[in-house]
């Protein structure tokens, strides 16, 4: 469903996102993004917060449109740069033969007087052909180059493939189907003057998701530079300003510790094994509290077992009967950061559910099985070791406790109909 919004000529992407958050009654957590989507080309990109919406729209075709959705990874590279820029792909790290500090790495990308470089093999689709060729590439501030002789950097062996200043970088969402890409990690450099002709596109393909993310993130940094850092800092500065007018409250995961209140005074549990045991006991305690409430009875005409089986339908993280492939697509769209998750109905077992979770840019699936005890149905993803009366309890528990998962649940995949 579309939404009509009147946009002034000077409205930025950030301003429009905040307006749509307000009109759609969403929570403004600075993770919303505006996406430029080209269905016929199979391309899309997350617009930068400082870009002017009307200016971007003038370069779009009639079939193209804007999408409004979450993107938790938009500025994640400022928080975890080494995850986005592997040492073997950063030329400066290779030449100095030493590990680079995260702060130095970002300073090199942001400083206009430095010359960082991303290097590595990429598949490139040959112009006017269906075939792909694997060549060694170099990404610099001046553009994307390929070497005509192995990995040589000599100027006579470098050929300019794409200019950065007059182009934008897109994810190829139909890379294999539309372009015959050799892997699932295709992306595209599209000139600003291109109005939708495939011959003007420079379609590329990486070996894995980390490599593709590195190339695309470096392109953004080379193109926009310090503007990206300013975009990243504005919400943080606003949050700091607002904190002066409200009670201080830490939401950092590092500030959460396991506590034992069984004695006269509380104590911090420092032993990881004991902390894990306490987390399991907390899960059982939640179940017992719910059982006591059920014994006391409720005036609601809906039986508690029926309520527990449908209460999750109202949650933004529940996506119903979607396929495994569709869950991958949603996670990719909303940024592959640690703790990004959604729940869906299992395809193999209609009575079960699946937790789809992103960790280290890899998507993993955990089956949530129903189990019966004393005539009551519970849900568990660790073979019954920790049981929950409904999926909301399960999600809340794993947002605070990692348990058997590789990381805690942090960011729910959210789809908002406009």
Contact 312, 392 (CB under 8 A): yes
Q: Does residue 280 surpass a pLDDT of 70? A: no
pLDDT band at 99 (very low <50, low <70, confident <90, very high): low
Give residue-wise pLDDT tens across range 187-204. Answer: 999 988 876 667 788 999
CA nearest neighbour of 218 among 98, 329, 117, 107: 117
Average pLDDT, the chain: 83
Q: Of 310-314, 320-324, 386-390, give the lowest mean pLDDT range.
A: 310-314
Q: Indicate if the alpha-carbon torsion angle 155, 161, 166, 168 is positive or negative.
A: negative
Written as six digits, the tokens of 140 are: 């610099």
Q: Measure the CA–CA gap between 206 and 184, rounded to whole angstroms.
A: 8
pLDDT confidence of residue 304? 43
Question: Which class for 188: exposed (0-12), middle (13-18), buried (19 or more C-beta within 10 A)?
Answer: buried
Q: Do the Cβ atoms of 258 and 269 come closer than 8 Å?
A: yes
pLDDT of residue 249: 47
Residue 80, pLDDT > 50, answer: yes
Indicate the pLDDT class of residue 228, thresholds 50, 70 and 90. Answer: very high
Least confident of 140-154, 216-230, 309-323, 393-407: 309-323
pLDDT given for residue 307 in this prediction: 53
CA-only gyration radius of the chain, Å:
25
pLDDT tier, 300 (very low <50, low <70, confident <90, very high otherwise) = very low
Band of pLDDT at residue 416, cut at 50, 70 and 90: low
User: In the prediction, which pLDDT does 302 show?
Assistant: 36
d(CA 360, CA 365): 14
Taking the CA atoms of 309, 314, 317 and 318 in sequence, report the sign of the dihedral they define: positive
Q: pTM to 2 decimals?
A: 0.76
pLDDT of residue 94: 53
User: What pLDDT is recorded for position 62?
Assistant: 85
């Amino acid at each position: 469903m579309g939404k009509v919004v009147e946009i002034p000529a000077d409205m930025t992407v950030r301003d429009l996102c905040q307006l749509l958050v307000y009109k759609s009654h969403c929570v403004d957590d600075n993770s919303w993004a505006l996406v430029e989507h080209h269905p016929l080309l199979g391309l899309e990109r997350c617009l930068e917060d400082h870009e002017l919406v009307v200016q971007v729209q003038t370069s779009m075709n009639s079939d193209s449109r804007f999408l409004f959705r979450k993107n938790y990874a938009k500025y994640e590279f400022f928080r975890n740069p080494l995850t986005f820029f592997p040492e073997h792909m950063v030329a400066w790290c290779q030449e100095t033969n030493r590990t680079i500090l995260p702060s130095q790495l970002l300073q090199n990308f942001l400083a206009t007087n430095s010359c960082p470089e991303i290097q590595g093999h990429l598949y490139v689709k040959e112009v006017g052909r269906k075939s792909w060729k694997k060549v060694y590439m170099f990404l610099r501030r001046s553009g994307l180059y390929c070497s005509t002789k192995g990995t040589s950097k000599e100027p006579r062996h470098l050929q300019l493939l794409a200019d950065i200043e007059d182009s934008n970088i897109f994810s190829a969402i139909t890379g294999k189907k539309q372009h015959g890409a050799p892997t699932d990690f295709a992306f595209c450099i599209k000139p600003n003057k291109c109005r939708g002709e495939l011959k003007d596109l420079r379609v590329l393909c990486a070996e894995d998701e980390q490599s593709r993310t590195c190339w695309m993130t470096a392109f953004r940094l080379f193109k926009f530079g310090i503007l990206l850092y300013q975009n990243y800092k504005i919400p943080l500065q606003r949050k700091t300003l607002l904190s002066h007018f409200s009670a201080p409250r830490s939401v950092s995961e590092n500030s959460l510790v396991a506590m034992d209140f069984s004695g006269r005074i509380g104590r911090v549990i420092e032993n990881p094994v004991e902390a894990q045991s306490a987390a399991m006991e907390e899960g059982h305690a939640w179940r017992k509290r719910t059982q006591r409430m059920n014994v006391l009875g409720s005036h609601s005409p809906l039986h508690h077992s029926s309520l527990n089986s449908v209460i999750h339908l109202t949650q933004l993280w529940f996506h119903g009967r979607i396929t495994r492939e569709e869950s991958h697509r949603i996670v990719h769209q909303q940024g592959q950061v640690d703790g990004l998750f959604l729940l869906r109905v299992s395809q193999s077992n209609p009575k079960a559910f699946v937790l789809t979770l992103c960790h280290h840019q890899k998507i993993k699936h955990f089956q949530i099985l129903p189990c019966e005890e004393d005539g009551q149905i519970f849900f568990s993803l660790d073979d019954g070791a920790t049981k929950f009366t409904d999926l909301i309890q399960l999600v809340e528990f794993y947002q605070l406790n990692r348990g058997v998962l590789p990381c805690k649940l942090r960011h729910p995949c959210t789809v908002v109909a406009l």
